Copies of this chain bind each other. A is one copy, B any other.
Amino acid sequence: MEAARSYTLRELAEACDGEVVGDPHVLIRGVGTLQQAVAGDVTFLTNSLYRDLLRDTCASAVILGPEDRNATELPRIISANPYACYARVAQRLFPMPTALPGTHPSAVVDPTAQVSPTASIGPQATVGAGAVIGPAVVVGPGCVVGDRVVLDEGVRLYPRAVIYPDCRIGARSILHAGTVIGADGFGMARDATGWVKIPQVGRVVIGADVEIGANTTVDRGAIEDTVIEDGVKLDNQIQIAHNCRVGAHTVIAGCTGISGSTHIGRNCRIGGGVGMVGHLEICDGVTVSGFSLITKSITKPGVYTSSIPSQPHRVWMETLANLRALPQWVQKLKAIEQMLEKPKEE
C-alpha cells in the first residue's frame, strides 16, 4: 500500500531513533514484506532465520537489528528493536487518518454535552446529556456516546461503537467498530418468581492508550467499576464481565471470555479463545496459552495451559476412549501392583 507522500530514509529513521546505513536520501512511500515489497517500500527483518529472503527482496530499504547489520547492501535502518522500529516507521508513513473538526449535521448532540472544538463527531452519531468530548476526539459514524460519558483527548471511536452512560475512556484510546462498553453485567438473584435483575450501577473506566477490537464487550460493574488500565490491548470479540480489572499493558487475543470480578495483572499475555472463571486474581506477567481455561488464581508468573491440539479423528477417538476408560486401567494397574508386591511379602 502506498502512503500519501514519500519520506527519506533519514526522516523515517528519526521516527524510531534508528541508525541509517547507506543512502539516507532514498525515498520511501510504502511498506512490504521481504517477499512482496516493491521498489519504494521499506521492509524489515526481525528474525535472522529469514536472511535468505533478504537477499532477494525488491524493497528499497530494510529495517534490521545490529546482528544483521551487514546482511544486506540496501540502504537500511539499524535498530535494537527492529519490529518496534518498523511500527514507528509505518506510523510515520501511514498516520491515522485525520477527521475534520466539528459535528456532522446528521449527528444528534445533546445541548448539555461539552464537545471540544477540535473534536469530530461523525454522521448519525449520538452524544448524550452531560457527555464530555475532549480535544481531537473522533467519534465515528453511528457511534452512541451515552449520558455523562467522558472521552479524553485523542480518543478514537470507530463506527457504531456504543458507550453506555457514565463510562470513561482515557486519552488516545481506540475502540473499534461494534464494541460495546458498559452494558449491564450478568447479575441476577433467583427467587420464586424467576430471576430478579440486579441493577448494575458501576461504570467502565478505561485508561489511556488502550485499544479494543471489533465487537468486543466490556460490562459495567455491579457496584464498583470495571477497570481496563493504561496500555491494555484487547483483540476482537472478547467478553470482559462486570467488576473485572485488566492490568496495564496486558494483551488479550480474540474470542476470550473473562468472568465477573476476575482481576488480571499487568503485562500479562492472554491467548485467544481462553476462558477464565470469576473471582480470580491473576498476578503480573502471566501468559495463558490459547484455548486454555483458568479456574484458579495464579500467583506466579509463567505460562499456563490446558489446550489439546487436534489429531486425525480416529486417533483422537481412540485416545478419548482410553481417557474415559482410565479409571478402569488405573484399577487394573493397582491390582497388578498388589499382586506383584504380595509374593515378596510372602
Q: Which residues of A contact B (CB under 8 A)?
A: 1, 31-33, 36, 81, 83-84, 86-88, 90-91, 93-94, 97, 104, 106, 108, 122-124, 126, 140-142, 144, 158-160, 162, 164-165, 174, 176-178, 180, 183-184, 186, 188-191, 194-199, 201-203, 209, 211, 213-215, 217, 219, 223-224, 230-231, 233, 235-237, 239, 241, 248-249, 251, 253-255, 257, 259, 272-273, 275, 277, 288-296, 302-313, 316-320, 322-327, 329-330, 332-333, 336-337, 339-340
Contact = CB atoms under 8 A, between A and B. Distances in A.
Contacts of A249: 194-195
Contacts of A213: 183-184, 186, 217, 219
A339 B339 CA distance: 13
Given A195-B251, A255-B275, A257-B272, A311 B304 contact: yes
9 contacts: A31-B201, A87-B199, A90-B201, A162-B214, A186-B253, A195-B231, A219-B236, A295-B309, A319-B327
Contact of A191 (B84, B288, B312, B332): B84
A120 to B, nearest CB: 14
A152 to B, nearest CB: 17
A233 B195 contact: yes
A310 to B, nearest CB: 4
A188 B209 CA distance: 12
Contact of A189 (B84, B198, B277, B333): B84
